[in-house]
Structures are given as C-alpha cells and as structure tokens.
Chains A and B, each alone.
Chain A
Amino acid sequence: MKIFITGATGYIGHRLMLAAVSKGHTVHALVRNSSSTQIILHQNISFFKGDITEYNSVLAAMEDCDAVMHAAGITQLWHPDRTVFYRVNVGGTKNILEAACFHNVKKFVFTSTCGVLGPSFKYPISEEDPRITPFENDYEISKHCAEELVKEYSRRGLFAVIVALPRVYGPGPLTDGNPVSKFIGDTIKRKIGFIPDAKQVVGNYAFIDDVIEGHFLALQKGMGGEKYNLGGENHSYEELFDNIRKASDKKIHVVTVPKFLFKIASEFVYAISLITRRHTHFTPKIVDRLYQDRAVSCEKAVRQLGYRITPFENGIQQTIQFLKSKNYV
C-alpha cells in the first residue's frame, strides 16, 4: 500500500513512517523543512517539500496514494497567535481531506487527542461520552473542529477513521510531542521531581509502540466515521513517580507544590511570554489541567480493533533504557 503521511518530522508521524516501511508499505511524506534531521534515506520513502496549509503541495504529494495518515498539527496548548491553531489544525486538515477526495484515497486515519473529550469524572471517559465542561484552549477547540470536519467528509463518503491519543511516552526524540519522556528524563537527571499537591489526580499514559500499532489497526479494521481512543493505563502522579523510581533504581525526591505557587509561577511566566511573544508550556490554564482527572477508556479500541496495551511498568522501563542509551540520563 502507498501511504501519504503528514507530520513525518514529528514524534508520532516519524514513527508511523518507520513502521509503515517495516510493514512493507511505500510512504509519501510531506515535510516543511527539507533539512530536518528526521529525514532518512530509504528506498520506500519519498519526501515531498510542502505545507499542509498549501493545498497544491498536498495535492501533488498525495498523487497515487491509497491511504492517508494525517498526524501533522500544532501540538502546543498555547501560542501567542491563536489563529495559527485554526489555520494549521483545521484549515490544514481540510486541505488534506479535499486532496484525499480528489485522489480517491481508500482510507484516511486522522490523529487527534483525548483532550477533546475533556476531563473525566466518575468513570474513564470513552469516545461517545459528551464533553460536559467548556473547552479550555484553542488547541482542543481546533482539534475538535478538525474531528467534526473529518466526520463531515466521512458522511459524504470518504472512509475516515479518527484516533485519539492521551499523553504519549516512550523512546524517541524529546520533541514537543513527547513531553512525558522528557519529564521522566529530567526527573531522573535532577533526582528531584515537582508535582502538584494532588497526587491522586489520574492521567492516561500511552506507550508509543502501542499507539503506532493502533494507527495501523485503525487503518485495517477501523470503521468509517468512528473514533478510537488509543491510550494506555490510567495512573496517578504518585504511581508515575513510583514507577520511575523503581525502573531507574535511583532515589528521587518528590516535592509537592501547592496549587497557588504553581499558579503564581505560571502567571509570571505567562506575562513574560505575552510581552516577548514567545511560546510557553506553562500558562495558568495549563496548570489547571494538571489538577483534572483525565482517565481514558480504550475498551472500544481493544474490542473492535484488537488494540493491545503495554503494561505501564514495562513501558517506563523501556523509556528509561532508551534515555540511558542516548546518554540523556
């Protein structure tokens, strides 16, 4: 199969590209920067210089492809210019959908985020649950809009599947798309970790290998117009640290920081980034997110796709081994 992949220099897209060729597929990858270190020489990978916001570059690169995996997007939660989220995440997705219709692509897999579903309450949140709290940032709104756009094209006959990812961790470059692994590495290196004073707050942590495999399962077995959560196990911050300690064999001091200190610090950072127009990961709204339960249910993917979840302990071990092999820790 010939697969068109976007976001091939990002964390997910890059791994998708490698997995595709190892499964015997041919890849057309769209890249903005032709000198990126993520570009590798392979007989079955063709790189096309382009941008998802430019329709003609997408159209040209997708020629002759049977399937599309759209993993490109702005993954930050905050950006000084909020329209960039809509231009890239919604406008870009529309260009790819249009091109897919034009080239009569057979299958379309769109990589989205569990953030669209919002925080969880009593039960882990699943694909069909309604979001009962307002959206908190333009990233989530733009991904929600993009998902709705994909569903609209699906209703008109394009075979499109949506996969939603929670916090992804695992071996791979420590880019914006891989903050959990960077956090694990930094914690081990500094032997100290700062966590919110709500140790019981639960998040979902997905291992990269599972997520990549899940994309291909969605490509093979996914039903058109459906959405699948490709997550991992639900764990609290406390359990995350316990696992890091166990797997790294190092003494790590955990410092719990009260919410108001986090808030003050983030207000300060936010003010500076507003003045300098620089990007930051640390805004007051992102701090609020750290205090919300975000448990996710992957039951639908397990049942319908045969999705498999690597045990958390095992995944953390592999991540730390990778970080050690790269001399990061």
Chain B
Amino acid sequence: MCNKYALITGASEGLGKFLAIECARRKMNLVLAALPGSGLKSLQQYLIKEFEIDVLCIEVDLSEYKNCYQLYQHVKDEGICISALINNAGIGGTYPFDDKDAWYYSKMIALNVATPTILCRLFLADLRKNAPSFIMNVSSLAGIFHLPNKQVYGGTKSYLIGFSESLRKELMADDISVSVLCPGGMNTYWQLLMDNRIKGTWISRQSIMEPCKVAEIAIRKMLERKELIITGFWNRCFLFFNHLFPRKIKNGIMNYQMSKLKRKETLAPALQPHFITAKN
C-alpha cells in the first residue's frame, strides 16, 4: 500500500495555488503541475514547511498532448498513487472573437478540453485501484451562462460540465466521485482585485469571490462527493433564476449589465500602466 496523493494541474497561481493549500491543510500529499518558471518551487517549499506533507512538483506545459503522457509517466516512475485528480489548468479571458487568432483558440481548446480528458483517461486505472477516489474538473459559471466575449472559453467549460456529469454516472460503481466546480469571477490578479473594489455593477460585485474562499468550498464539497459545485450564495441564486426565467428576460438583463459595465469603463479608465520609456 503506498501513500495517496492528489494531483493538481495549474497549481502555481490563482485558484490552483489555493486548491493546493486547501488540500495541504487536510494533510493530503500533493503532486503539483504547472508551467516552467511559474514559481512552483517556492510554493512546494512553503507547503512542505508549513503543513508537513510530501509535495512533488512537475514543471510541464500541459497544452502539449505528449506532455500529458510524460506527466503520467513521471508520476508512475515515482511510484506515487493518485487518489484525487483536480483538473484546474486552463486559459481564459474576455475578448471579441476576432481579437485572437485561430492558433490561440486551438491552444485553448487543447488545454481546457483535451488535457483534462486525457488525464482522466490516463489516471483512471490508478483511481480505480485507490478507490474511494475523486476527480474534480474546474469549469466556470461561464460554462452555464453564455456571456458575450467568452465564446470559446464558455464552450470549453460547458464541455467539462457535460463530460463530468456523464463520467460521474459511469464511475459511480467504482467508488470514484466525479465533481465539477463552477466558480464565478475571482480576484486572481491584482488589477481585478482593485477594479472590483472601485467599479463593477452590484451583481458583478456579489458574484466575485476570493480564490481562497472558493478553494475551501471546492475541496470540502469534493470530499462530500457533490456533483455540481457552485460557489457563493448569489451565484446559486443567479443559477436558480436562470432556470426560472424565460430566455427573453435573461438576455435583457445580461445586455443591460454589459452596457452598464461598458459605460463605467469609459467613465473610469482602468489603471493600466502605460510605460513611458526610460531615457537610456
């Protein structure tokens, strides 16, 4: 019998970092994967010191198909048993469809759709062997509410909801619990944090949460074997109304919110650093 580990992808920043900290608090050993040079080592050192757990970190670009296999092989070579797989790595953003090129979207689809699917498939045998075990796929509220300027992102996140809910029914008999996490907006970057304190509409402010709070709820609900995890009271309310209201009214509210946000943006230009080039 070997020690059990949780694997978290995209663990160096944002929500992934806090998911790692929440698991560490519960004394779960960790395998953390993230892009090279993203500060994974310092997180590893901190977790080992503060929580006295075993942490293995693997620096890898998971948007490459073959690197997913490499990650799997690396874990196997270390003789580590994975009993929880948290697919958190992803690319997001809000922009008009023609802002990015086709290559960018193919990258996004690879990381947000293909990678979690491949990792679930690769680790399935291990998860079965180490049951009771857990899979959590990190989707988004944008996968439920189809917001403008989040076309590809929303689509990839919708896939994760469908994939997870189907897989959950299949793996129930193996004692593997599949959950899907749908957080709303999060303060994962300092500029977002500040913008949310000084502008934004009432609804958008209610929906936005701190990543450490989201992570705490997510890990707790995952261990409670919940299927769909929606974080925050207001987000759950919005979802409830989403089921209740006819399409016409929903679209009306959304357009109103979007136009209000845009108006506010023109009134208070974001504090983008516009660098004056230094005299050399």
Contacts and interface: CB of A to CB of B under 8 A. Distances in A.
A145 B194 contact: yes
Contacts of A19: none
Interface in B212-232: 212-213
Interface string B28-46: 0000000000000011001
A157 B278 contact: yes
B193 A129 contact: no
A304 to B, nearest CB: 16
B279 A130 contact: no
Interface stretch (B56-64, B108-116, B177-185, B268-276): B268-276
Nearest to B278: A101
Contacts of A149: 190, 273
Q: Which of B18, B21, B271, B280 has the most CB of A within 10 A?
A: B271
Nearest to B209: A134
Given A98-B276, A141-B193, A158-B278, A134 B213 contact: yes
A86 B197 contact: yes
Interface string A93-108: 0100110011010000
A325 interface: no
Nearest to B275: A156
B198 A141 contact: no
A37 to B, nearest CB: 34
Nearest to B191: A145
Interface residues of B, number: 25
B99 interface: no
Contacts of B212: 132-134
Interface residues of A, number: 33
B136 to A, nearest CB: 20
A123 B275 contact: no
Q: Which of B213, B271, B278 has the most CB of A within 10 A?
A: B278
A94 B273 CA distance: 7
A94 B270 CA distance: 12
A190 to B, nearest CB: 38
A222 B271 CA distance: 28
A90 B277 CA distance: 20
A130 B21 contact: yes
Interface in A81-98: 82-83, 86, 90-91, 94, 97-98
B185 to A, nearest CB: 15
A121 interface: yes
A128 interface: yes
B275 A101 contact: yes
A82 B197 contact: yes
A158 B278 CA distance: 8
Contacts of A130: 17, 21, 43, 46
B18 A90 contact: no
A23 interface: no
B272 to A, nearest CB: 10
A102 B46 contact: no
B190 A145 contact: yes
Contacts of A134: 210, 212-213
Contacts of B213: 134
Nearest to B45: A128
A142 B279 CA distance: 29
Interface string A104-136: 100000000000000001110000111011110
7 closest A-B pairs by beta carbon, nearest first, are A134-B210, A148-B190, A101-B278, A145-B190, A104-B279, A145-B194, A128-B42
Given A134-B213, A145-B194, A152-B273, 4 more contacts: A102-B278, A123-B49, A133-B212, A135-B193
11 contacts: A83-B198, A90-B194, A94-B273, A97-B273, A101-B275, A104-B280, A129-B46, A141-B193, A149-B190, A152-B273, A156-B275
